[in-house]
Chain A
Amino acid sequence: MGEIEFSNVDKYFYLQHQKTIKELVAAIFHQKKTLERVHALKNVSFKIKKGESVGIIGKNGAGKSTLLKLMAGVSSPTSGSIKINGRISPLIELGAGFHPELNGKENIFLNGVILGMEEKFLIDKFQEIVDFSEIDMKFIYTPVKYYSSGMYMRLAFAVAVFTQPDILLVDEILAVGDTAFQAKCIKKMEEFKKQAVTTIFVSHSLETVKQFCNRVIYLKEGKVEFDGEVNEGINLYIKS
């Protein structure tokens, strides 16, 4: 459990220049570009073993997000094969499934179920989740639209860490929140690492990658430019 294998994965997608039929008709009339085929990932192959912490680095548009989407299973490859072994938990865009009108408790259950946890498990863990989030019990029955952004994120993070993942996908979450919260995130991720949870880490913060990862995959224009030791990969990236 916890392995990821990409073999000769290619991903094309169509960039739509028009998002409405109205614009589309106008564009066809003026003979403008309508659809652009983008080759987002080019023949990507790698194998990630259980317990590895892999940093994905590369410039904007190098294919990092696409790679993460393929791993999360929300997008399918155009060709090649992807093997994922184990339960994936995305620790990304916290609170994606939150509804502002619902209260903290309702959102814990909603988000928990979205992340694939069982209701029974959530009932058992409810108190622990609230404790971890450090949100005062009296606010748990308040709609989350009245939460401060810090509270909102702490709650979302608390739910996310209680999934018991084999693979953790982390995307830039550390860029948000105060320092205390960031420290808490890192600490929790270190804990996951000790439990041999495979972690895929996408970040622009090379420092965090250095600190946390034991392998980097450097993507350049959709290709794997480098796959291996952290410092070597980062140096190569900086030089380019």
Chain B
Amino acid sequence: MLRYYSLLKKLTLREIKARYKQSFLGFFWIILNPLFQMIIMSFIFSKIMKMTGIGVPYPIYLYAGLLPWLFFANSIASAMGALTNNSSLIKKIYFPREILILSTLLAKVFDFSLAIIIFVLLMIFFKIPFTFYMLFFLPIFLLQFIFTYGLSLLLSALNLFYRDIQYLFDLIMTLWFYVTPVIYSTEFFPAEYRYIFKINPMSVFINAYRQVLFNGTYPNWESLGIGFFISMGLYLIAYKVFKKLEGMFADVV
């Protein structure tokens, strides 16, 4: 992998640079897009739907779920095209193909980091106290990254064989969004359905982020443990499948 470090670096920079060169607003879009989504949703859900009693102001609560969700959704969306868009490379030159997926995801991590700046400003604005527990943000994000990477490996490879898997998955993502506590908190869900949040890794991560950021406590280890096993399991299986299919990529692309 070390041998391909500079390739990974260059491909990641290609992703980032190419996108920002296309528009004058460049870097601002990355910050503005989730911010506007948050403002619109905040208005609807706090003023109209009256989502209250969650401990912190709704906009920041929402943002803490929306940013990780958008990272997840955007990563999957671009990873799905990562192999098909690079078909001419895949047909001609060998390098480990997961680098194509990893570089798209790293570019999304860059976007995510930019968006976090606004989040921190909002934290200050809403006078949320900064605590030591917030450091747990990083390991939780690492887990989320592994989960996202695993799923991306699997889906990008399958999408190479049947090109409409990405459209199919768009539908799944819409459903997935609503069974993940992004716009609401888990307590709003009827108790008999709450098991969904235990087995949905995205829900595990978002709950954990909110715990360490707003409650000033450790994350729920039991729930995070389930998230850990699902993420690692998925990653290991996905990597195996991806490597198994890799030798066929050039034949089908």
| Residues of chain A having any CB pair with chain B under 8 Å | 13-14, 16, 18-22, 24, 69, 72-76, 88, 90, 92-93, 96-97, 99, 101-102, 106, 109-110, 113-116, 118-119, 143
Known: A19-B163, A69-B250. 12 other contacts (CB 8 A): A13-B251, A21-B164, A21-B168, A74-B250, A75-B249, A93-B91, A97-B93, A101-B17, A101-B21, A102-B17, A110-B14, A115-B93
CB contacts (< 8 Å) of B91 on chain A: these are 69, 74, 93, 96
Closest chain A CB from B133 CB (angstroms): 40
With contact pairs A20-B163, A74-B94, A114-B95 given, residues A106 and B17 touching in the complex (Cβ less than 8 Å) = yes
Q: Is A75's CB under 8 angstroms from B247's CB? A: yes
Complex Cα distance A97/B7, Å?
Answer: 11
- Which residues from 83 to 133 on chain B have a C-beta closer than 8 Å to any C-beta of chain A? 88-95
CB contacts (< 8 Å) of A109 on chain B: these are 10
5 smallest beta-carbon distances between A and B, as pairs: A76-B247, A73-B94, A20-B164, A96-B88, A74-B250
CB contacts (< 8 Å) of A88 on chain B: these are 94
CB contacts (< 8 Å) of A75 on chain B: these are 247-251
Closest chain A CB from B240 CB (angstroms): 16
Closest chain B CB from A165 CB (angstroms): 12
CB contacts (< 8 Å) of B251 on chain A: these are 13-14, 69, 75
Kindly identify which residue among B22, B90, B93, B165 contacts A21, using a CB–CB cutoff of 8 Å.
B165
Q: Is A96's CB under 8 angstroms from B92's CB? A: yes
The secondary structure that dominates the B interface is helix
9 sample A-B contacts, Cβ–Cβ < 8 Å, listed by A number: A13-B248, A16-B161, A74-B90, A74-B250, A75-B251, A99-B18, A101-B18, A114-B95, A119-B6
Q: Is B248's CB under 8 angstroms from A92's CB? A: no
CB contacts (< 8 Å) of A14 on chain B: these are 251-252
Complex Cα distance A8/B231, Å?
Answer: 41
Complex Cα distance A106/B219, Å?
Answer: 43
Q: Is A93's CB under 8 angstroms from B161's CB? A: no
Closest chain A CB from B188 CB (angstroms): 35
- Which residues from 153 to 207 on chain B have a C-beta closer than 8 Å to any C-beta of chain A? 161-165, 168
Kindly identify which residue among A13, A16, A20, A72 contacts B93, using a CB–CB cutoff of 8 Å.
A72
Contact with A along B10-26 (1 / 0, CB 8 A): 11001001100110000
CB contacts (< 8 Å) of A118 on chain B: these are 6
Complex Cα distance A197/B18, Å?
Answer: 36
CB contacts (< 8 Å) of A24 on chain B: these are 162
Closest chain B CB from A1 CB (angstroms): 17
Complex Cα distance A113/B248, Å?
Answer: 24
Closest chain A CB from B127 CB (angstroms): 42
CB contacts (< 8 Å) of B18 on chain A: these are 99, 101-102
Complex Cα distance A92/B88, Å?
Answer: 10
Q: Name which residue of chain B comes closest to A65, CB basis.
A: B91
Closest chain A CB from B166 CB (angstroms): 10
Q: Is A114's CB under 8 angstroms from B94's CB? A: no
CB contacts (< 8 Å) of B10 on chain A: these are 109-110, 113-114
Contact with A along B232-253 (1 / 0, CB 8 A): 0000000000000001111110
CB contacts (< 8 Å) of B94 on chain A: these are 72-74, 88
CB contacts (< 8 Å) of B17 on chain A: these are 101-102, 106
Kindly identify which residue among A16, A19, A74 contacts B92, using a CB–CB cutoff of 8 Å.
A74
Complex Cα distance A21/B90, Å?
Answer: 23
Q: Is A90's CB under 8 angstroms from B93's CB? A: yes
Q: Is A74's CB under 8 angstroms from B93's CB? A: yes
Q: Name which residue of chain A comes closest to B253, CB basis.
A: A74
With contact pairs A74-B250, A99-B18, A101-B22 given, residues A114 and B89 touching in the complex (Cβ less than 8 Å) = yes
Complex Cα distance A232/B6, Å?
Answer: 46
Q: Name which residue of chain B comes closest to A91, CB basis.
A: B92
Q: Is B93's CB under 8 angstroms from A99's CB? A: no
Complex Cα distance A72/B250, Å?
Answer: 11
Complex Cα distance A60/B22, Å?
Answer: 40
